[in-house]
Structure 1
Amino acid sequence: MNSTPVLLLPGWLNSGPGHWQSRWEQLYGYQRVEQHDWRRPLRGDWNARLEDMVLAATEPAVLVAHSLGCILAAAWAAHSRNTRRVKGALLVAPGDVERADLAPLLPGWQPIARQPLPFPAVLVGSTDDPYCAPARAEGLARDWGARFVNAGAQGHINAESGLGDWPQGHALLRELMD
């Protein structure tokens, strides 16, 4: 049994009960990084909370981020002095917070940190994600030094995508944990 801590980083508005992140939390006991305000996310506050959770982990953790959680993981990694406490990251359906329609909804999240991540990462993108064009997701993967996985037409890879427990995603996570 792998004892690697897994920290779930939901996106804007959190992940509801049908979301694969919530299902993984229930099935596997992974820990959600709870934020003070899911409706009005402040990058500095979200970064501080992630830092606290990484430092509280008993050993190096794996981050499992969705949407704005991906942008958080990159922002945190660009500034934290504790990135050695992260073993890897599964980044799913990053939200393009630099898009003209999304930027006003999420002030303070621009620009997206583009430095290579200091730990192994896999970015899963969809060909029909309404919040991030496929080429943009591939570009973020390249900038972050992450392996890109094309999930096909899966929308925003969330509860509405009908993935259930999303075993394909969990297999990618297990690879990062091993």
Structure 2
Amino acid sequence: MTDVADVIVTVPGLRGHVDEHWQTRLAATLPNVRSVQPLGRENPSLDDRVAALQEAVAAAGGPVIIVAHSAGALATVHWAARHDTGTVRGALLATPPDLALPLPAEYPSLRTLREHGWVPIPRQRLPFPSIVAASADDPLGEPGRVRALAAAWGSCWHGLGRVGHLNPASGYGEWPGVHPLIDELRTMEDPR
């Protein structure tokens, strides 16, 4: 089970706080969790999200495992391109969107995301171990494009099957599979 010595930093996507979300439930089950404050869909600022992630990692004061969902995965790779990542032991990037096709109406438009710096998505190798956990039927990320992002980031690929966007709307409040993936990150060789 997940080691309590590491601080888990959860990075939400473009949503407000959702009690039923697996990240919220994960935070409730572990003692050392810092959640990046969700800014919600009304604030599409990538810079604000990157700054919030930097603040959470710096405040951890020790080894960190990042657990990011959706646009939080993209915020994580943008953060890694801008900041010292020395305390990060690894990152779980769950169902990242590919931002290649228009998102559903409840999300910001691709034009808005582009204006706020989300595109282009960084494609350099991440300086820490990472796992991309991807869905076979995610409406926000076509599997082939997400697999190409994972390869560019140097991430291990973990297929989740048909789980939609791995969120409450797709029927996922609890995600038991998150704990083994966090544990797997601890056994991966650090590329630094």
Confirm or deny a common fold (TM above 0.5): yes
- Letter in structure 2 aligned against 1:104: R
Task: Give the secondary-structure state (helix, strand or coil) at the position aligned to 1:110.
Answer: coil
Match of 1:16 in 2: 18
Aligned residue for 1:172?
A: 181
1:54 to 52, 57, 70: 57
3-state SS, counterpart of residue 93 of structure 2: strand
Taking every aligned residue pair, what percent have the same amino acid on both sides?
36
1:2–1:177 Cα contact (<8 Å) kept: no
Partner Cα distance (1:111, 1:132) in 2 = 15
Consecutive unaligned residues of structure 1, counting only runs of 5 or more, are: none
Distance 1:131 1:163 in 2: 16
SS of 1:91 mapped into structure 2: strand
1:159 and 1:54 map into 2 onto residues whose CA distance is: 27
Answer with 118-127 or 101-110: which moved more: 101-110
Structure 2: distance between partners of 1:14 and 1:173? 24
Query: What does residue 32 of structure 1 align with?
Result: 35
Please name the residue that 2:4 is paired with.
Answer: 2
Residue range with higher mean Cα deviation, 55-64 or 117-126: 55-64
Amino acid at match of 2:65: V
- Runs (5+) with no aligned partner, structure 2: 104-108, 188-192
Distance 1:151 1:76, change over 3 A: same
Residue 42 in structure 1 maps to residue 40 in structure 2: no
- Cα distance in structure 1, aligned partners of 2:173 and 2:50: 29
TM superposition score normalised by structure 1: 0.91
2:153 is aligned to 144
**Cα distance in structure 1, aligned partners of 2:128 and 2:16:** 25
RMSD: 1.7
Query: What is the one-letter code of the residue matched to 1:6?
Result: I
Q: Alpha-carbon deviation of 1:140?
A: 0.9
Contact 1:15 1:21 (8 Å CA) reproduced: no
Query: What TM-score results when the alignment is normalised by the length of structure 2?
Result: 0.85
CA distance in 2, matches of 1:8, 1:162: 20
What is the CA-CA distance between 1:129 and the residue it aligns to?
0.2
Whichever residue aligns with residue 12 of structure 2, its letter is P
Q: Is the 8 A contact 1:65 1:89 kept in 2?
A: yes
Question: Which segment is superposed worse, 162-171 or 60-69?
Answer: 162-171
Given candidates 111, 116, 132, the residue that maps to 1:104 is 111
Map of 2:166 onto structure 1? 157
CA contact 2:8–2:65 (8 Å) conserved in 1: yes
CA contact (8 A) 2:135 2:159 kept: yes
Question: Distance in 2 between the 1:59 and 1:138 partners?
Answer: 31
Equivalent AA in structure 2 for residue 57 of structure 1: A
Deviations 1:22-66 (A, max 9, x none): 110111142210145542221111111111111111212010000
C-alpha distance in structure 1 between counterparts of 2:96 and 2:167, whole Å = 11
Q: 1:100 to 1:38 in 2, by over 3 A?
A: closer
Distance of 1:14 and 1:20 partners within structure 2: 14
